[in-house]
Structure 1
Amino acid sequence: MPIPYDFLGKVFVAIAIVVLAGILVALLLGIYSYKKHKILLPNFILFVLYLFYGPAKTICRTFLINDIIVDEILVEVRNAVMIAKFKDTKGRRVIFLPQCMRHPSCKARCDPIKGYECKMCGLCDISRIHEAAKEHNFEVYVIPGGSFVKKIIKTQRPESCIGVACYPELTESMQGASPFMVVQGVPLIQDGCFDTRVDVEEVIRKMEECDV
C-alpha cells in the first residue's frame, strides 16, 4: 500500500498551523496578562510557552519583539498562579540568591552544601536581604549554581522559596522547583556575571506576603 505523502503533508501543515496559532494566542494572552496585571488562562499560557519555548522566542524575534518577553510572561504568570499558596505556607521558607550579587571584594567562604556564607559586611545588598529574612522567618542561600539548589531542596526540604536571578534563569529554575515547593521569582534589575543587583524592596515585599 503506497504511503499517502500528500495526505501526511496536509496533516503536518495543519498541525503546524494549530501549533503556531496556539503559540500566538498564548503570547497575546501572556502579554495582556503581564501588562494589565490581570492573568487570563494561566495554565494554558504556562503549558504552551514552556512546551514551545524556543519557537515562541523565534516568533517574537520575527516580529521585532524582544524575546525576553517570553521569560517575563512565564515568571509573572507563575508568580500569580502560586501567590495564594505562597502566602499560606507555614513550613521552612528560603531565598535563593545568585552568587553574582556578591561584592567584588567579598570574602565569604563557599560551603559545599549551602553555598556562600555571608559575613554581613554590608558591601552588597545580600546583607540587607539577610537582615530582613530574619524578621520574616526566611533562610537565605547564596548559591554558585543550580546544583546547589538541588542539594538544598534535598537536605533542607523547604516548603516555599523566593528565587532571584535573571529572567531566563528564573524561567528554568521556577519550572524545575515548582513540583517540589511553592515558588516566587524576583528578577535582577542589573544582570551579568558579577556585581548584579535586585530590587531589595521587592524581595522584602515578597517576604512580607507571608506575614499577612
Structure 2
Amino acid sequence: MEIPYEILGKFFVTIALLAIAGILVALILGVYSFNKHRILFPNFVLLILYMFYGPAKFICSIFSIKETLVDEILVEVRNAVMLEKFRNTKGKRVIFLPQCMRHPKCKARCDPIIGYECRMCGLCDIGTICKAAKEHHFEVYVIPGGSFVKKIIKTQQPDSCIGVACYPELSESMQGASPFMVVQGVSLVRDGCFDTKVDVEEVIRKMEECDV
C-alpha cells in the first residue's frame, strides 16, 4: 500500500515545524538561564541544541543574533549541570590550554603525547596558570589540537578537566569529553590563531571550586 505524497508532505512539514519550535524553546530557555543564572530544563536544552546545532545557528542568523550564542548556551548550561560533580571529584584533575595562547617567542618543546611543555618564562599567561594549577593540584596540558586531548585522556585518564578555547571549540570538545570525565569550560576573551587571551582569574576561580 502506497502512502500518498500529500500525507508524506504534511508529515515532514509537521516534523520540521516541531523541530523549529523545539529549537526556539531551547534557545529561549538557554538565554534565560544564561542571563538569570538559573538553569531551566538543562538536559532538554543540551539535547535539542546539539541535535539541531546547524539549524539553531541558522535561526540565529535569520534574526541577526550573534552566531556564537548557541555555543555559549551549550557551554554555560553544561558548566552548570556538571559544577557540583566537578567540585566533588577527587581524582586526577587537568587543564587543557590551546597552543594559541603561547607568546610568539615561546621556545617550549612540543611532546608528541602531552603537547607543549611550559618553561615558565613569564612571556604569556600560561606560566601564571601553571603556577596556580600546581597549588590547586591540577596538571596543565598546552595542546596543539584536539587529537592531543584524545591521547591525554587515553594515557592519563583524568577524572575532571577545565578546558579553555573559543566557544565553538569548547561546546564541541566538552560534548566529546563529558562521557569520560567531569568537564568545565572557560572561553577565550580574545580568540584567533595566535596570541589569544583568557581571563586568568576565571580559570583560577574554576580551580578554586575544587577547594570548597
Q: TM-score range by the shorter chain?
A: over 0.9
Aligned alpha-carbon RMSD (Å): 0.6
Q: What per-residue deviation string (whole Å, max 9, x for no partner) do you get for residues 70-127 of structure 1?
A: 0000000000000000000100000000000000000000000010000000000000
Where in structure 1 do 4 or more consecutive aligned residues deviate above 6 Å? none
What is the match of residue 98 of structure 2?
A: 98
What is the match of residue 141 of structure 1?
A: 141
What is the match of residue 115 of structure 1?
A: 115
Normalising by structure 2, what TM-score? Answer: 0.99
Query: How far apart, in 1, do the equivalents of 2:118 and 2:127 lie?
Result: 7
* Offset, 1:67: 1.7
Normalising by structure 1, what TM-score? Answer: 0.99
Query: How far apart, in 2, do the equivalents of 1:112 and 1:46 lie?
Result: 34
Q: What per-residue deviation string (whole Å, max 9, x for no partner) do you get for residues 145-168 of structure 1?
A: 000000000000000000000000
What is the match of residue 4 of structure 2?
A: 4
2:29 aligns to what SS in structure 1? helix
Query: How far apart, in 1, do the equivalents of 2:2 and 2:179 lie?
Result: 46
What is the match of residue 84 of structure 2?
A: 84
Q: What per-residue deviation string (whole Å, max 9, x for no partner) do you get for residues 38-86 of structure 1?
A: 1000000000000000000000000111121100000000000000000
What is the match of residue 31 of structure 1?
A: 31
What is the match of residue 51 of structure 1?
A: 51
Superposition map of 1:107-186 within 5 A = 107-186=107-186
Query: How far apart, in 2, do the equivalents of 1:55 and 1:17 lie?
Result: 12
Query: How far apart, in 2, do the equivalents of 1:189 and 1:135 lie?
Result: 24
Identity across aligned pairs (percent)?
78
Query: How far apart, in 2, do the equivalents of 1:73 and 1:146 lie?
Result: 21
Q: Any unmatched runs of 5+ in structure 1?
A: none
How many pairs does the alignment contain?
Answer: 212
